[in-house]
Amino acid sequence: MTDRAAWQRLDADDPLRAFRERFELPDGVIYLDGNSLGALPRATPGRVAALLHEAWGRDLITSWNKHGWIDLPTRVGDKIARLIGAAPSEVAVADSTSVNLFKLLSGALDLAPGRRVVLSDRGNFPTDLYIAQGLVGLRGGGLALEVVDEARVAAAIDATTAVVMLTHVNYRSGRMHDLAALTAAAHRAGALMLWDLSHSAGAMPIDLNAAGADFAVGCGYKYLNGGPGAPAFLFIAARHQAGIRPPLSGWMGHVAPFAFDHDYRPAAGIARNLCGTPAILSLVALESGVDLMLEADLAAVRAKSRALGERFWARVTERCPGRFALASPADPAARGSQLCLSHPEGYAIVQALIARGVIPDFRAPDILRFGFAPLYTRYVDIWDAVEQLADIMATRAWDAPQFHTRAKVT
Amino acid sequence: MTDRAAWQRLDADDPLRAFRERFELPDGVIYLDGNSLGALPRATPGRVAALLHEAWGRDLITSWNKHGWIDLPTRVGDKIARLIGAAPSEVAVADSTSVNLFKLLSGALDLAPGRRVVLSDRGNFPTDLYIAQGLVGLRGGGLALEVVDEARVAAAIDATTAVVMLTHVNYRSGRMHDLAALTAAAHRAGALMLWDLSHSAGAMPIDLNAAGADFAVGCGYKYLNGGPGAPAFLFIAARHQAGIRPPLSGWMGHVAPFAFDHDYRPAAGIARNLCGTPAILSLVALESGVDLMLEADLAAVRAKSRALGERFWARVTERCPGRFALASPADPAARGSQLCLSHPEGYAIVQALIARGVIPDFRAPDILRFGFAPLYTRYVDIWDAVEQLADIMATRAWDAPQFHTRAKVT
């Protein structure tokens, strides 16, 4: 156990080690799926309870003013802005990532008259592609979604490209696009750049404004630990905000929602991109997760994330030689905060791991995805997870009937 | 105090009297704004806490299957279906009312090729009109929103009308449209009918299928007591579901979300109208409110609601003669579960009432809106509220500087 003890010392020396105690984590579980659903911050239940009893229950409708509910979408947006290199007035929290993508893609098409292509990569998260398909179908006029292999995106941007829509870190492989380089490539061709930060916000330093990015969306329930289905965020560079005509022109984006005007007139800033009444319970839980993330040094988060990934792969090659192909880039600098293995029996192997309290996730058809959330994933968790994986492979423990039964959500 | 005692006896005889104890209500407050934000059911904090600790915190990502999160939008939809005369597979919970309106209006336009008009009434809730404006602008092709006075809607439906979009109970006046008659009028002209039930679902029996309605949306945070910004619902008659091409084509509406297909293929039934990942915290709170509402007899709810409104207006005319104009229909059968007064100093009068613990709300420019939530509003609350109102008017207590300062949300 000398080696495991050495990994425990890494935890003892970890500058982020105190964060783990800020989460409520189940005993006996090694959770390596924070890239799908982040863990529960200990502060969150108390904040939600206060919202329920002291705001909703006691102050009722007056809470919109008294407890600042009306400002929550921009207040939490301002906080997220600090995590992604945006200015405070450039981010709002609203709706889901999918709905926000629809808004921003539509806005980008408004700003690029005469250009007909939304360009993306074939491996982008499916909902991003679906939303783009739906939007171009709805708007008509020859608009089209075009997808190319991820390595070919830069070369495919041309004078027909209205907007390049990419996910910064690929959900399946963990491959990270070069945010600054691709933004520059889009701009050189006169196109706009939209980033989906769902798999990177909160996992690493991101600087949208340094890169000159035009638009971004992202998810609240992964590395931001906002809770299941937490509202999503949207970023629009200040220079574009006045030119956006919101396609989902709801009352919360009106310049004066409580004037009850008959005609839609968009609010001046980022707020015009709000639509309906925000889901306050979910927003308060998200704010709790974001507040915790703001205490962390994102450079330290990234450094630990890289180390966890490198050590994970090193241990897999040592303990399960030849068993798995690496489905993530070999260069750690080109990966997000996850490491993916492929194996034809990936589904059953993941189920066998879950039965032993190690929770990665599976992505069809054959990907075992291990996510590292540096605020609560320990080095020793990596050690222990790979020990379980090695035992499952050595004993073929995955080849039991119950591990082959598919669940609704995988 | 003889009269007040008589009103207390009405409460003692109220078949719904036991429901009030099921809500957490602040002491010393008479809450007459349940039509804007319903009160907190006592069961809700426990259910939310269980969600936080036992699902999110303990079972983490596995909760999507283990705690049935993935089915919540349709499970809660099935429950709401029972409140609005829909079949179980005709309702889903998703997004906000505004976003759902966008989806259904777009679906209606798909089903009515060659017809270019979305028809509504001028006094419809503004976000409904804004959303329609945004959608017709986005789709182009000569589509238009047309609004007429509410009394002229039936006459204005013609061969150009694709869809008639009305709110069942007007947010400002409480006037209730005849749901069955207007649906029939739309159908006679070959148009589709979309109802916004935000101000009626949970306040009275509604039978969408008996009326043959095509589409409906509604709000979770008013009479359904789902909490601030609770997710909204959408109804699509079974006969139309397969013809809907969702404009917000997100992964949760895909036939196989976890297959991660590259192309969008809509789910078979109502589920295709889901878009992004649902806000689970807010959905669980909504389910708690809906479960409580399902225990109530909606005919009894409606009978009490009418009685509260009639008695409120009778007391106002008695105690404040000539002070207020009735801004709701004089016929109680034509009103929803609210009663509106108009007065040039309406804003300040509402603030003075709030300062005394009586909470109605104000709608610009001059409407005092009093909502009755029969599950927790008592007859004696009406008595006491009008006593306060009479005193405020008699003493001009509203004419103090602090009551003239406008809040962000009114």
Q: Which of A294, A328, A348 is the last residue of a domain?
A: A294
CATH number for the domain spanning A314: value is 3.90.1150.10
Residue A139 falls within a domain, yes or no? yes
Residue B157 falls within a domain, yes or no? yes
Same domain, A290 and A310: no
Residue B37 falls within a domain, yes or no? no
Residue A225 falls within a domain, yes or no? yes
Same domain, B83 and B205: yes
Q: Which of B261, B294, B327 is the last residue of a domain?
A: B294
Using the Cβ of B63 and the Cβ atoms of chain A, whether some distance falls under 8 Å is answered with yes
Same domain, B259 and B127: yes
Q: d(Cα B216, Cα B200) in Å, to the nearest integer?
A: 12
Residue A39 falls within a domain, yes or no? no
pLDDT, position B1 = 47
Same domain, A263 and A305: no
CB contact under 8 A, A127 and B276: yes
Same domain, A119 and A240: yes
Same domain, B284 and B356: no
Exposure b/e, A83-101, CB count within 10 A at least 16 = b: bbbbeebbbbbbbbbbbbb
Say what the ipTM of the complex is: 0.97
Same domain, A280 and A332: no
Same domain, B85 and B231: yes
Residue B334 falls within a domain, yes or no? yes
Q: d(Cα A164, Cα A303) in Å, to the nearest integer?
A: 29
CB contact under 8 A, A70 and B126: no
Residue B40 falls within a domain, yes or no? no
Question: How distant is the Cα of B113 from the closest Cα of chain A, in angstroms?
Answer: 14
Residue A409 falls within a domain, yes or no? no
Which structural domain range is residue B372 located in? 2-31+297-403
pLDDT, position B380 = 98
Same domain, A224 and A373: no
Using the Cβ of A149 and the Cβ atoms of chain B, whether some distance falls under 8 Å is answered with no
The total domain count for chain A is: 2
CB contact under 8 A, B409 and A262: no
Residue ranges of chain B with per-residue pLDDT less than 70: 1-2
pLDDT, position A410 = 80
Phi (first) and psi of residue A378, to 5 degrees:
-100, 160
CA angle centred on A69, ends B79 and B69, rounded to 5°: 35
Same domain, B145 and B251: yes
* Mean pLDDT per 10-residue interval, chain A, length 410 residues: 88 98 97 97 98 98 96 98 97 98 98 97 96 96 96 97 98 96 98 98 98 98 98 98 96 93 93 97 98 98 98 97 97 97 97 97 94 98 98 97 90
Same domain, B258 and B288: yes
Same domain, B66 and B26: no
pLDDT, position A2 = 65
Q: Mutation test of the interface with chain A: which of B37, B61, B377, choosing the one with the most A Cβ atoms within 10 A?
A: B61
Question: How distant is the Cα of B134 from the closest Cα of chain A, in angstroms?
Answer: 5
Q: Which of A270, A294, A318 is the last residue of a domain?
A: A294
Alpha-carbon dihedral sign for residues B272, B259, B277, B224: positive
Strands (E), B128-180: 144-148, 161-167
pLDDT, position B2 = 64
CATH number for the domain spanning B130: value is 3.40.640.10
